[in-house]
Chains A and B, each alone.
Chain A
């Protein structure tokens, strides 16, 4: 199998708290990988490690055959990212914000208009970013990630703050990306119904541990074998997380 992102026993500890515990991910090239987990499960921390925003306590990972910190610049050239909340210069317009990123990436001027067009912000490009609504800031953050059409996208809850039509639009956009320019997407979201419609593979994280990794069909089979409801992703996810939480409580009692 051709994996573009692999992690090996990735672990992140903050003093005695283990945010990510021996997580080994395998993300196929050209796939959309949904990264699921309750709040505080370690999704964002894992994504931050992949982007070099925080160093792993233990373990390693490779992105397109390259490793941090030696290949930091060449990895970041290939990865478009959006982590937690949009990042922007409040004193600059949407267009100027993207132009800063474009210059750093060494892309042609036309890439800014292209990114604004993709996220539906073309007519608001000249407005100051601080005057954007939450949804527009979210779109600007996405445009920053999509700038130059990078081969890998790491998106942490990209539909937060968007209205239903915005969510629908962004979902369709993300779904179309692998076919549009052979891109691999790692996406986390709390909106399980959205993820179900979008992804090829899934990783479920709870309390820093990877509970499941595989395709939606494999998850369904796994749920049926374990006697869980397998009607939709939400039921399977909740059953799996509840079971893990119960066994954790049991272990703590013992």
Chain B
């Protein structure tokens, strides 16, 4: 808890927290505006109203979330490298892997807030703009959880990459390359491609149904854990010299 509070203090003037809040608000605003402008077109699609609400708006919202995660992960570790502050952390009586885990936790909590904002907007749209009785809160909660779980591999991967490179442009470039390659591969039905964390995050956006895909969920959980443990291991064993 002490290290978590210290990590939060370090974020002062870094824009990590305002950035993630802005992503949440922007995603919510996009969903509102998009549904208002394209309401008739969207509701005339040959899909169930809840599938329309959840899958047809998620593409752009997911791209926003992805870029938010990439940039926030880069910033959260760049502050450690900018003035060689991480070197001091290794020379103090504290656990650097715990520090890594707290950064992971901060971004995870911020992602939850982002998704909560966006789903509040979807709830409002569902209650006011979907046909009477079509809105299902349980389906929305389930999809919100699905989008959170599928976003976690990118978050876990990006923190790991950011913690390994002093030059912020490297993880940023890896993030953009991950996004572009993910976009190219996401529509494929090849399950093996789910080892690519960005493909996993894009999966709910290219699906036509709001029902979670259990294979994608399993891939997400495994990848999140692998990248998290890789990050914790490197923080413990690969010292900053």
Contact = CB atoms under 8 A, between A and B. Distances in A.
Contacts of B93: 72-74, 76-77, 104-105
A144 interface: yes
Interface stretch (B36-44, B80-88, B155-163, B218-226): B80-88
A96 B12 contact: yes
B6 A81 contact: no
Interface string A60-85: 00000000000011101101010101
A12 to B, nearest CB: 11
B193 to A, nearest CB: 38
Contacts of B87: 53, 83, 87
Contacts of B10: 89, 91-92, 100
Contact of A91 (B13, B88, B92, B240): B13
A113 B85 CA distance: 20
A45 to B, nearest CB: 9
Nearest to A76: B93
B8 to A, nearest CB: 11
B221 to A, nearest CB: 32
A105 B89 CA distance: 11
B92 A104 contact: yes
Nearest to A79: B91
Contacts of B32: none
Contacts of A105: 92-93
A99 B6 CA distance: 9
A129 interface: yes
Interface string B4-44: 01100110111000000000000000000000000000000
Contacts of B5: 103
B contact residues, range: 20 to 34
A88 interface: yes
A14 to B, nearest CB: 10
Interface string A157-190: 0000000000000000000000000000000000
Contact of A88 (B14, B85, B90, B94): B85
Interface in B54-85: 79, 82-85
B234 to A, nearest CB: 15
Contact of B85 (A53, A79, A87): A87
Contact of A53 (B2, B6, B12, B241): B241
A76 to B, nearest CB: 4
Given A87-B84, A87-B88, A92 B12 contact: yes
B6 A129 contact: no
A92 B85 CA distance: 11
30 contacts: A52-B239, A53-B87, A53-B91, A53-B241, A54-B239, A76-B91, A76-B92, A76-B93, A83-B87, A83-B91, A86-B83, A87-B83, A87-B86, A87-B87, A88-B84, A89-B10, A89-B79, A89-B82, A90-B82, A91-B13, A91-B14, A92-B13, A103-B6, A103-B9, A104-B6, A104-B93, A105-B92, A105-B93, A128-B13, A130-B82
Minimum-distance CB pairs A-B, first 10: A87-B88, A76-B93, A88-B83, A91-B13, A87-B84, A73-B93, A77-B93, A90-B83, A90-B82, A87-B87
